C-alpha cells in the first residue's frame, strides 16, 4: 500500500513502469488475501471449516488472481524489453494509453479465463469425507474428495493452466533473452553490472512464480504428491507476493529517493 501511495502521489514516478508496479502491488494484496487469512484462522483458532460455496469462490479468486499475475509479469517483461532494447522508441510504443489497456486486458482476461473450469467444479458432486488435504481450496485437493467423474475437469483445468502459465512464460523468456543479448552488447562494465543486477533480481521472482506453478499445475495430476504440492504452493501463494515489493520496487533507487523525500517532509511537519 505504501508503494501504491508513493507512486500515485509523486509525479516523478508517473511513468509506465511504475504504473505496472502499482498494478502488481495492488494485485499482490488481493492474491495473498485469497489464501492467507483463512490459513491464519486455521493456525490461530484451529477452525478448519469452510463452506462449499466459500471453497469454490476461494478456488476461483486464487486461480484468477494468479492468472492476472502471469499476464502482468509477461507485460512487464515486454515493457523492460522495449525500454532496454528500443529506448528511443519507448515512449511512442508504451504510451500511457497502451499502458492502461495492457493492465485492463490483464485484469479482465484474468477474471474471465477460469470461469469455465470453475463452472465445471460447481457441477461436481461431493459425498464425503469432506476433508481437503491442503491449506486452501486448490483444484487437485478439492476434486480428490469428489465422487463424480473428474476426468473432464482435470483435462479442461490442465489445458487452461498450461496455456496461461507456459504461454506467458515463453513470452517472458523471449523478452529476457533479448534483454540479455542487449546487455552483453553494452560497452561499459558498470552499465553491464547495473543491468545484470536488475535483470537477475527480476528473473529470480519470475523463476519462483513460474517454477512453482509449473511444478503444481502443468505436471500430470497422477505424478504429484499432495504434501509436496502444499510446500510448493506456499512459495507461490505466500513467499512470492511478499518478495515482489522488495524485488520490483523497494530496491529501485528512484522509489527509495521518493520514500526518503517523504520522510524529510514528515520530519519538517513535526
- Looking at residue 83, what is its pLDDT? 87
Sign of CA dihedral 57, 62, 63, 65: positive
Residue 270 predicted with pLDDT over 70: no
φ/ψ (deg, to 5) at 114: -105, 25
Residue 185 predicted with pLDDT over 70: yes
- Looking at residue 42, what is its pLDDT? 86
Residue 131 predicted with pLDDT over 70: yes
Residue 252 predicted with pLDDT over 80: no
Fold of 2-269: Rhopdopsin 7-helix transmembrane proteins (1.20.1070)
Residue 71 predicted with pLDDT over 80: yes
- Looking at residue 195, what is its pLDDT? 67
- Looking at residue 258, what is its pLDDT? 82
Give yes or no for a contact between 160 and 63, defined as CB atoms under 8 angstroms apart. Answer: no
Domain spans of the chain, in order of start: 2-269
- Looking at residue 196, what is its pLDDT? 67
* Count of Cβ atoms closer than 10 Å to residue 124 Cβ: 17
If you average pLDDT over each of 26-35, 79-88, 176-185, 248-257, which comes out highest?
Answer: 26-35
Burial of 209 (0-12, 13-18, 19+ CB in 10 A): buried
Residue 198 predicted with pLDDT over 70: no
CA atoms of 160 and 168, how far apart (whole Å): 12
42-56, 130-144, 185-199: which range is least confident on average?
A: 185-199
Amino acid at each position: 500500500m505504501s508503494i501504491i501511495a508513493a507512486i500515485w502521489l509523486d509525479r516523478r514516478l508517473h511513468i509506465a513502469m511504475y504504473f505496472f508496479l502499482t498494478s502488481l502491488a495492488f494485485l499482490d494484496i488481493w492474491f495473498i488475501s485469497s489464501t492467507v487469512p483463512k490459513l491464519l484462522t486455521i493456525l490461530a483458532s484451529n477452525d478448519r471449516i469452510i463452506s462449499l460455496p466459500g471453497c469454490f469462490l476461494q478456488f476461483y479468486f486464487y486461480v484468477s488472481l494468479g492468472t492476472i499475475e502471469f499476464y502482468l509479469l509477461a507485460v512487464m517483461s515486454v515493457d523492460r524489453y522495449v525500454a532496454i532494447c528500443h529506448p528511443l522508441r519507448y515512449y511512442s510504443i508504451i504510451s500511457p494509453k497502451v499502458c492502461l489497456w495492457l493492465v485492463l486486458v490483464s485484469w479482465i482476461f484474468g477474471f474471465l479465463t477460469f470461469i469455465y473450469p470453475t463452472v465445471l467444479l460447481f457441477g461436481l458432486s461431493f459425498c464425503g469425507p469432506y476433508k481437503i488435504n491442503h491449506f486452501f481450496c486448490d483444484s487437485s485437493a478439492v476434486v480428490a474428495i469428489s465422487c463424480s467423474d473428474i476426468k473432464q475437469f482435470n483435462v479442461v483445468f490442465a489445458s487452461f493452466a498450461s496455456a496461461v502459465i507456459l504461454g506467458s512464460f515463453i513470452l517472458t523468456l523471449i523478452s529476457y533473452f533479448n534483454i540479455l543479448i542487449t546487455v552483453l552488447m553494452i560497452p561499459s562494465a558498470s552499465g553491464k553490472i547495473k543491468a545484470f543486477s536488475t535483470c537477475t533480481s527480476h528473473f529470480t521472482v519470475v523463476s519462483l512464480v513460474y517454477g512453482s506453478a509449473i511444478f503444481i499445475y502443468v505436471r500430470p495430476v497422477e505424478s504429484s504428491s499432495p504434501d509436496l504440492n502444499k510446500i510448493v504452493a506456499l512459495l507461490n501463494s505466500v513467499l512470492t507476493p511478499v518478495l515482489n515489493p522488495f524485488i520490483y520496487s523497494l530496491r529501485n533507487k528512484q522509489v527509495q529517493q521518493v520514500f526518503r523525500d517523504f520522510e524529510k517532509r514528515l520530519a519538517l511537519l513535526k
